[in-house]
A and B are shown apart, each in its own frame.
Chain A
Amino acid sequence: MNNTYKPAMTRYHGKRTRKININKLLVYIPMFSLLFISTIPLLWIIRTAFIPQSLTLDLTAIAAPVLDNFKRVLAAAPFGKYYGNTIIIVVGVLAVQFVLITLAGYAFSRIDFYGSKALFVLFLSQLMIAPEVLILPNYTLMTKWGLTDTRIGIMLPFFASAMGTLIVRQTIKTIPYELEEAAKVDGANLFQILWKVYVPLLKPAYISFGMISASFQWNNFLWPLVMTDSVEKRPLSLGLAMFAMSYETGAQWSDVSAATVLVCAPLLILFIIFQRQFMESFMHSGIK
């Protein structure tokens, strides 16, 4: 009944197009302003990082970009060491997480077993109460084990991931069971099935979770703050905070900006390069 022909639509066709354009403008102007506002902090920090120190406080100053600020920062604080620590932590956590979430995600999606519902709720509880809320008891535990001020101590609480398990579980559910059955007929055991059938198909899940988890570890602050007391084991986020805290006045803004850019750049560049894959993976993995 609804799809009756409406001659009015054709008659006012020209007018309608104009109206759409005004509508479009009404959407575009606020949205692009929002986009601009969202990018101001980034643009400003990059500008301050590359401008000669003497011009830092002059907002209208225009100058050719210089690397002096970065040179000073690298001379003043061991950012190379911080980078190394953060990379070890990120890679270490991700490596263990990938193995654990694959096993757990498979168990929750493909196996019907006693206790699965209860265990699933237990996993979800970690989604609610993240390890960083439990800094105090976890720190006490690490002191008891003598793991404070070690990289492994910083990594341990994050090895099990409820979020990763959920993503793998949802993704496996979209994979046809016939693939597994075919492999079984060929005589593959459980680990061969996981490795040959599921791991390749879980790539989108790994990419999207990997990106989220890596950025979480890269950015993690409070836990490393209580765990480390030496420069040797300090990750980037903490190094940056210590560096920024050592300056009180605005005169060193160019240095703090340069340090901030140093810390943010790798993840941002990774994100820009893998943006398309990340978005695609994010849409096709179970996150919905």
Chain B
Amino acid sequence: MDSSQILQTSACLPARDEVYQRALHKEIRSKWRRTLTGWLLLAPSLVFLAIFTIYPIIKSVISSFYKDNLSVMDPVFTGLDNYLSLFHDMVFWECFFNNLLVAVVTVPISIAFAVIMALFANSLKKGKTIVRLGFTYPTFIPLVAAANIWMFIYTPIYGLLGYINPEWRFLADSDTAIWALIVMLIWKQAGYIMLFYIAGLHGISRELYEAAKIDGANSVKIFIKITWPMLKPTTIYVLIIALTNAYKMVDHLYIMTKGGPGNATNVLLFYIYQTGFDYWDTGKASAMTVILVTLLLMVTSICFFVQDKKAYYND
């Protein structure tokens, strides 16, 4: 029994009822003992979380208030200067909106493909394995390797698409470059998301479908009324993974465009990398890290609050 439950029960009873009092004390004592065990079991993970996730966030917040680049010997406190200069930095805004575009386009399309592919793979009697492999293998290819492969596809004249039309220069044109990368990211992500939907579909009881069929529902109606609502926890989880991924996937930029042409394909994390490790402007890069962290927290918190916490807090 939960100690709070006992507390409530005992509150309704006369205080002199010693049996309940003793039970309450025993329960509280044993909860403290459990607390010790719980914290001890979590301690190793907590240490690493504290050092490599929590502390770096705090550190970024602090250094974002300092001017810390090659022009100064020691960091100088400058208040919000880094943020103000970012506000006037066109490149930053370009990265910001590119990131937004990548997230808004890649995530829903990947999810749509993933659901369709999962339903299709599940509906097959033969060849399930082949279909699943064909869709999911991009998950297990490193993004840098995928970038190499897609370079061959996009290269004008000699590339795979170059055979169709030698004039296509998707990566060199600042209007199309980001779309070319988005196509690749969808190819890379959809199969991964499909895995979660296959697992999610597996969790839906067959009886629901049979009942719907007896009622004469067609497959579209079954999907809208049963499958999609039942997949809601999966969708929330996938949304979080896909949205955060949209901000983390930058490896391909290193190979394919370096953020160019201009900054047409640059995104926040890659700009952080360039600012921090190419231009050594730690202050500015820290300010951007803080902004990125805030963005990620906001995006994922919205996902958590939209759902009724079912997937995580209930059994």
Seen from chain A, the residues whose Cβ lies within 8 Å of a Cβ on chain B are 2-3, 27, 31, 34-35, 38-42, 44-45, 48, 57, 59, 99-101, 103-104, 106-108, 111-116, 119-120, 122-141, 156-157, 159-162, 165-166, 173, 190, 215, 218-219, 221-222, 225-226, 236-238, 240-241, 244-245, 250, 253, 256-257, 260, 263-264, 267-268, 270-272, 275-276, 279, 282-283, 285, 287-288
Contacts and interface: CB of A to CB of B under 8 A. Distances in A.
A160 B160 contact: no
B142 A240 contact: yes
Contacts of B187: 38, 41
B119 to A, nearest CB: 9
A141 B52 CA distance: 9
B60 A136 contact: yes
A134 B254 contact: no
Please report whether the interface of chain A is mostly helix, strand, loop or mixed according to DSSP: helix
Interface in B226-261: 233-234, 237, 240, 244, 247-248, 250-251, 254-255
B229 to A, nearest CB: 14
Contacts of A38: 134-135, 138, 187, 191
Nearest to A269: B140
Contacts of A2: 214-216
Contact of A288 (B46, B57, B135, B199): B199
A160 B49 contact: yes
Contacts of A257: 148, 152
B257 to A, nearest CB: 13
A124 B52 CA distance: 14
Given A41-B153, A136-B272, A137-B56, A123 B248 contact: no
A284 B160 CA distance: 40
Given A126-B53, A135-B276, A107 B38 contact: yes
Interface string B295-315: 011011100100000011001
Nearest to A107: B41
B149 interface: yes
A275 B132 CA distance: 9
Nearest to A42: B137
B85 interface: no
A89 to B, nearest CB: 13
30 contacts: A38-B191, A39-B134, A40-B160, A44-B152, A59-B160, A103-B41, A107-B41, A111-B37, A113-B31, A113-B34, A113-B35, A124-B304, A128-B299, A133-B248, A136-B276, A137-B63, A140-B282, A141-B52, A141-B56, A156-B52, A190-B37, A221-B254, A226-B277, A240-B142, A241-B254, A268-B137, A268-B140, A275-B133, A283-B198, A288-B199
